[in-house]
Amino acid sequence: MTRHDLLAAWRNYLQQSRRRSPHTVRAYCSAAQRLLEHFDLTEWPAVATIPPASLRTFMANRRSDGIGNVSAARELSAIKGFMAFAREQAGMENAAPPRIRGPRIKKGLPRPVTPDDASNLADLVGQDAREAWIGARDRAVLLMMYGGGMRIAEVLSLTGADYPLGETLRVTGKGNKQRVVPVLPVVREGIADYVAKCPWKIDSDGPLFLGAKGGPLSAGMVRKAMARARIALGLPATATPHALRHSFATHLLGAGVDLRSLQELLGHAGLGSTQIYTRVDAATLLETYRKAHPRGSD
């Protein structure tokens, strides 16, 4: 076999069997390629039996290249997955990854935006575009993320067959996990406005959201549009498209939605990922208290 054969099999497994996002596939394949090149490996058994000590040295070299704790942890996770896959390909019974501890990562709290800021961002994105239909498109995308708690990749994966939208929408998220999300009237109206103005034909088997030349809309274009609006409104750099999903979760929790229901709406595999929003809500409440209470700054 060749190095290319190993990477092709790994890429196909991630795409077809695990249904990983394009971004994750690229990152995991890049990590595997660096590993193969470092050890000059071209066979599955050799990949599967890399000694832990050698792997620690490899990761130490990666750290000396300047990658931080988060990047190092992700790379180690990708490599462990690749080695487990190599064990399966080599026919080994034990597919457990090597027992190497990654760097500790201090998890930061999500940074949601306020309901007013979310609305202003969507409106300004709609007004700031060079063409009316592009503004309507970008506004509809942001409204879907905030109104339904959807990831940007989930919104951009919608097809013409999903239109017109009803009161709910079945979404396929990470790990091929399906969930039902609400579609608010303002979101349906925003999408209908975009579809009516779009100069390109939206096919039932093609993407619902189209780029300027009629191809699939890229996530990068949405991020750029929101960055321009964020700067114009004087909002912090944390006001990204994904922050709208955080805002959806935080605002629902503050309105009394229970954690289990929120977990289902967000498509989290475990409740632990959802519980972080209780910390966000508590932090927001404390900040409000400090600003409003006469002794809050003492």
Return the active site residues. 151, 174, 242, 245, 268, 277
Beta strands of 150-257 (E only): which ranges? 168-172, 178-182
∠ CA 178-156-122 to the nearest 5 degrees?
Answer: 110
- DSSP letter for each residue of 250-273: HHHHHTT--HHHHHHHHT-SSHHH
Give the separation between CA 253 and CA 283, rounded to whole angstroms.
13
Give the separation between CA 84 and CA 76, rounded to whole angstroms.
12
Other residues' Cβ atoms within 10 Å of the Cβ of residue 70: 12
Closest by Cα among 95, 85, 97, 74 to 13: 85
Other residues' Cβ atoms within 10 Å of the Cβ of residue 258: 9
Q: CA distances (Å), 57 to each of 47, 95, 98, in order? A: 15, 22, 14
The dihedral sign for the CA sequence 82, 85, 90, 92? positive
